[in-house]
C-alpha cells in the first residue's frame, strides 16, 4: 500500500490547471446508458471513481474508451446488455446508484445493489426511490438489491425536500428517468448544484427538454429518445477550492486556472473573510497570495449555493492555524468529521459537538503519520501536511486517488515536497 510523504513548510508557487468535475462526470457517464449511439465526453478527470464507473457501464453493455486528452467515448454495442449493477461494483463506489434512473427510464427495469455504509455518515436513498415510485415504477428491496421496474413512467410532481436539503444524485436519477416518462415531470426542491445543471445541459444536448435546472424547480418533458452528443464536463469546483486552500495554507502565491468563478462564490467570500488573499484573475482563474494574516472564520457547509460539504474538511484544516476560535457546522453530513482525530494527532485543537466542531488556532501543526479515511478528509490531511512543521505521512491513498487527478504531481509542479512511498518505509 502506497503512502504520501509530505515535507511541510514549502510555499506553493506557480500555475495549476483544474480538471473536470468528478461529480458531474459520474452522473453524465451513467446517463449514457439512456442515450442511443455514440457520445464523446471531454474534460473527464482520470480518477479511480471514473474508472470504476467505466467498468460498471462496460458490464452493463456499453463500450467505454478513453483517449489521451481525457476524452471518453461511450457507445452501445460493447457486449450483452444487462440492467444489473451488482454489489461487487456498487460497493466500490456509491455513485454507481446513478445508473438507476437511466436504466429504469430507457429499459423499464433496473437491479442495483444498495451501496452499503459510508465513512461520511448515513446516506439513505429513500428520496430516490420515492421519486421513482411517484413516476410509476414499482420498487422492492431483495437480498440487498434495489429492484425497480415500470411498464410506463408517467410524468408527475415530485418533492425532493429531505431532512438535510435536497439530494444531488437523487435529482440526477429522477431527471434522467423523467425524460422517458409520458407528459411533464416537475421536481420540486431539486438540488441546485452545478453538477446537476451539467447533467441537465448534457441531456438537453442529447435532445431532452429540461428547464429550471439551477433553481429548486426543474421541469422535464417526456422527450425520449436521446441521441449521442459531444460534451465537455464543467471544471471541478471542489478541486479548485482544495488548491486555493493548499496555496494559502503554505503562504505561497499561485494562479489556479481552468475553473468557473461563478461556481465558487460562497467559497471565495469565506476565504476573503478568513484573511486569504484571493482575487479573480480573468473569467476562469483566481490568484491566491498567501502570507496574509489568517483569521478565525466560522462557516456552515450547506447545499449549493452555500459552501459545499465537500470542502468542509479542507477549510477546517487551514482554520487549525488561524488565531482565534472558528465554529464549523456541516448541515449536509452531520458526521463528516473523520479528519478531526487525524488533525488532532498533528496538534490541532478541535472539539466536536454533534454536527459542529470548534477549532482553536494553534501557531503551527506538526507532521506525523496519519490515516486517510475518506476522499475529502484525505485532502484536508494533505493541506495540513503541506503547512506543518516536519514530515507527514498519509496512509490509505486510494481514498485520495478516488477523487483527485494526479494530486501529488500537480502539487509537485507548485514546489511541494510530496512523494509516494511504499508502505514499508
Ligand atoms: C453527492 O452525493 C456527491 N457525490 C457528494 O460528494 C456530495 O458530498 C453530496 O452530493 C452533497 O453535495 C456525487 O455527486 C457522486 P445527497 P449524494 O443525496 O448525491 C440525505 C465527494 O466527496 N439524503 O445530495 O449521495 C443524505 O443523507 C462526494 O465527492 C436523504 O436523506 O448526496 C445527506 O444528508 C461525497 N435521502 C443529504 O441528503 C436520500 O434519498 C445530501 O445527500 C438521499 C440523500
> What is the DSSP annotation of 355-380?
TEEEEE--S--B--EEE--SHHHHHH
User: Domain 2-18+235-422: which CATH class?
Assistant: alpha beta
With a 6 Å cutoff on the Cβ, whether 398 touches ligand 1 is no
Please indicate whether residue 98 is annotated as part of the active site.
no
Q: What is residue 137's predicted lDDT score, i.e. its pLDDT?
A: 98
> Is the model's pLDDT at 191 over the cut of 70?
yes
* Banded model confidence at residue 256, pLDDT cuts 50, 70, 90: very high
Does the predicted model carry a pTM greater than 0.85? yes
Q: What is residue 16's predicted lDDT score, i.e. its pLDDT?
A: 98
With a 6 Å cutoff on the Cβ, whether 170 touches ligand 1 is yes
Task: Name the residue at shortest CA distance from atom 24 of ligand 1.
Answer: 167
- What is the rounded average pLDDT of the residues 307-332? 98
Q: Ligand 1 centroid vs 167 CA: distance in angstroms?
A: 6
Q: What is residue 83's predicted lDDT score, i.e. its pLDDT?
A: 85
Task: Name the residue at shortest CA distance from atom 1 of ligand 1.
Answer: 168
- Relative orientation angle of helices 22-31 and 168-178, to the nearest 10 degrees: 30
With a 6 Å cutoff on the Cβ, whether 52 touches ligand 1 is no
Q: Ligand 1 centroid vs 174 CA: distance in angstroms?
A: 14
Q: What is residue 331's predicted lDDT score, i.e. its pLDDT?
A: 98
With a 6 Å cutoff on the Cβ, whether 312 touches ligand 1 is no
- What is the rounded average pLDDT of the residues 264-293? 93
Mutating to test ligand 1, I would choose from 170, 238, 240, 375 the residue with most ligand atoms within 8 A of its C-beta, which is 170
> Is the model's pLDDT at 45 over the cut of 70?
yes
> Is the model's pLDDT at 424 over the cut of 70?
no
**Ligand 1 atom nearest residue 374's Cα:** 22
Cα–Cα distance measured from residue 127 to residue 116, given in angstroms and rounded to the nearest whole number: 16
- What is the rounded average pLDDT of the residues 384-396? 97
Task: Name the residue at shortest CA distance from atom 6 of ligand 1.
Answer: 310
Cα–Cα distance measured from residue 85 to residue 61, given in angstroms and rounded to the nearest whole number: 11
Q: Ligand 1 centroid vs 173 CA: distance in angstroms?
A: 12
Tell me how far CA of residue 342 lies from CA of 18, 151, 245, 312, 366, in angstroms: 27, 50, 18, 15, 12
Residue 318 φ/ψ, nearest 5 degrees:
-75, -25
* Banded model confidence at residue 92, pLDDT cuts 50, 70, 90: confident
Reading the block at residue 133, the C-alpha cell is 415510485
Task: Name the residue at shortest CA distance from atom 18 of ligand 1.
Answer: 167
Task: Name the residue at shortest CA distance from atom 35 of ligand 1.
Answer: 310
- What is the rounded average pLDDT of the residues 200-210? 98
- What is the rounded average pLDDT of the residues 110-116? 89
> Is the model's pLDDT at 177 over the cut of 70?
yes
| Helix residue ranges per DSSP H, 250-324 | 265-273, 312-319
**Ligand 1 atom nearest residue 172's Cα:** 19
Block residue for cell numbers 477549532: 359
Task: Name the residue at shortest CA distance from atom 41 of ligand 1.
Answer: 167
Task: Report the candidate in 377, 366, 305, 348 with the shortest Cα–Cα distance to residue 121.
Answer: 377
Question: Does residue 81 or residue 72 have the better pLDDT?
Answer: 72
Write out the residue limits of the CATH 3.65.10.10 domain(s) in the chain. 2-18+235-422, 22-232
How is 264-280 classified by DSSP, letter by letter? -HHHHHHHHHTT-EEEE
Q: Ligand 1 centroid vs 273 CA: distance in angstroms?
A: 27
With a 6 Å cutoff on the Cβ, whether 130 touches ligand 1 is no
Segment 325-347, tens digit of pLDDT: 999 999 999 999 999 999 999 99
User: What homologous superfamily does CATH list for 22-232?
Assistant: Enolpyruvate transferase domain (3.65.10.10)
> Is the model's pLDDT at 423 over the cut of 90?
no
Cα–Cα distance measured from residue 51 to residue 391, given in angstroms and rounded to the nearest whole number: 31
* Banded model confidence at residue 77, pLDDT cuts 50, 70, 90: confident
Order of strands, edge to edge, in the sheet holding 299-301?
299-301, 325-330, 356-360, 349-353
Q: What is residue 49's predicted lDDT score, i.e. its pLDDT?
A: 92
Burial class of residue 215 in the structure, from the number of CB atoms within 10 Å of its CB (0-12 exposed, 13-18 middle, 19+ buried): exposed
- What is the rounded average pLDDT of the residues 92-100? 90
Active-site residue (options: 32, 98, 118, 320):
118
- What is the rounded average pLDDT of the residues 261-272? 97
With a 6 Å cutoff on the Cβ, whether 168 touches ligand 1 is yes
In angstroms, what is the C-alpha Rg of the chain?
A: 21
> Is the model's pLDDT at 425 over the cut of 80?
no
With a 6 Å cutoff on the Cβ, whether 42 touches ligand 1 is no
Q: Ligand 1 centroid vs 250 CA: distance in angstroms?
A: 31
Q: Ligand 1 centroid vs 298 CA: distance in angstroms?
A: 23
Question: Does residue 1 or residue 358 have the better pLDDT?
Answer: 358
**Ligand 1 atom nearest residue 403's Cα:** 29
Q: Ligand 1 centroid vs 28 CA: distance in angstroms?
A: 16
With a 6 Å cutoff on the Cβ, whether 207 touches ligand 1 is no
Burial class of residue 363 in the structure, from the number of CB atoms within 10 Å of its CB (0-12 exposed, 13-18 middle, 19+ buried): exposed
Q: Ligand 1 centroid vs 90 CA: distance in angstroms?
A: 15
Least confident of 24-33, 188-197, 393-402: 393-402
Cα–Cα distance measured from residue 196 to residue 178, given in angstroms and rounded to the nearest whole number: 14
Task: Name the residue at shortest CA distance from atom 27 of ligand 1.
Answer: 123
Amino acid at each position: 500500500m502506497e503512502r504520501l510523504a509530505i515535507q511541510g513548510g514549502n510555499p506553493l508557487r506557480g500555475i495549476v490547471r483544474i480538471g473536470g468535475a468528478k461529480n458531474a462526470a459520474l452522473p453524465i457517464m451513467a446517463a449514457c446508458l439512456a442515450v442511443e449511439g455514440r457520445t464523446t465526453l471531454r474534460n473527464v478527470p482520470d480518477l479511480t471513481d471514473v474508472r470504476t464507473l467505466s467498468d460498471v457501464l462496460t458490464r452493463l453493455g456499453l463500450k467505454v474508451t478513453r483517449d489521451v486528452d481525457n476524452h471518453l467515448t461511450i457507445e452501445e454495442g460493447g457486449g450483452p446488455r444487462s440492467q444489473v449493477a451488482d454489489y461487487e461494483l456498487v460497493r466500490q463506489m456509491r455513485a454507481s446508484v446513478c445508473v438507476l434512473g437511466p436504466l429504469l427510464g430507457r429499459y423499464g427495469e433496473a437491479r442495483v445493489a444498495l451501496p452499503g455504509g459510508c465513512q461520511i455518515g448515513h446516506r439513505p436513498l429513500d428520496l430516490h426511490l420515492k421519486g421513482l415510485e411517484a413516476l410509476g415504477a414499482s420498487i422492492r428491496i431483495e437480498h440487498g438489491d434495489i429492484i425497480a421496474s415500470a411498464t410506463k413512467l408517467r410524468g408527475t410532481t415530485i418533492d425532493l425536500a429531505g431532512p438535510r436539503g435536497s439530494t444531488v444524485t437523487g435529482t440526477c436519477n429522477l431527471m434522467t428517468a423523467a425524460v422517458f416518462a409520458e407528459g411533464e415531470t416537475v421536481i420540486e426542491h431539486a438540488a441546485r448544484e452545478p453538477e446537476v445543471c451539467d447533467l441537465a445541459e448534457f441531456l438537453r444536448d442529447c435532445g431532452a427538454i429540461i428547464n429550471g435546472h439551477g433553481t429548486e424547480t426543474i421541469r422535464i418533458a417526456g422527450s425520449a429518445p436521446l441521441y449521442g452528443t459531444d460534451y465537455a464536463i464543467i471544471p471541478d469546483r471542489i478541486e479548485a477550492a482544495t488548491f486555493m486552500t493548499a496555496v494559502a495554507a503554505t503562504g505561497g502565491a499561485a494562479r489556479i486556472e481552468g475553473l468557473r468563478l461563478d461556481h465558487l462564490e460562497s467559497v471565495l467570500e469565506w476565504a476573503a473573510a478568513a484573511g486569504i488573499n484571493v482575487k479573480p484573475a480573468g473569467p476562469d482563474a483566481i490568484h491566491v497570495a498567501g502570507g496574509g494574516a489568517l483569521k478565525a472564520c466560522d462557516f456552515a457547509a450547506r447545499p449549493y449555493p452555500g459552501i459545499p460539504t465537500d470542502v468542509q474538511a479542507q477549510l477546517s484544516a487551514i482554520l487549525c492555524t488561524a488565531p482565534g476560535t472558528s465554529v464549523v457546522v456541516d448541515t449536509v453530513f452531520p458526521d463528516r468529521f473523520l479528519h478531526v482525530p487525524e488533525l488532532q494527532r498533528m496538534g490541532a485543537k478541535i472539539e466536536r459537538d454533534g454536527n459542529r466542531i470548534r477549532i482553536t488556532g494553534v501557531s503551527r501543526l506538526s507532521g506525523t503519520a496519519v490515516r486517510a479515511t475518506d476522499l475529502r478528509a484525505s485532502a484536508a490531511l494533505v493541506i495540513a501536511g503541506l503547512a506543518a512543521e516536519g514530515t507527514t505521512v498519509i496512509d490509505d491513498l486510494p481514498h485520495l486517488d478516488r477523487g483527485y487527478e494526479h494530486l501529488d504531481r500537480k502539487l509537485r509542479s507548485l514546489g511541494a515536497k510530496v512523494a509516494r512511498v511504499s508502505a514499508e518505509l
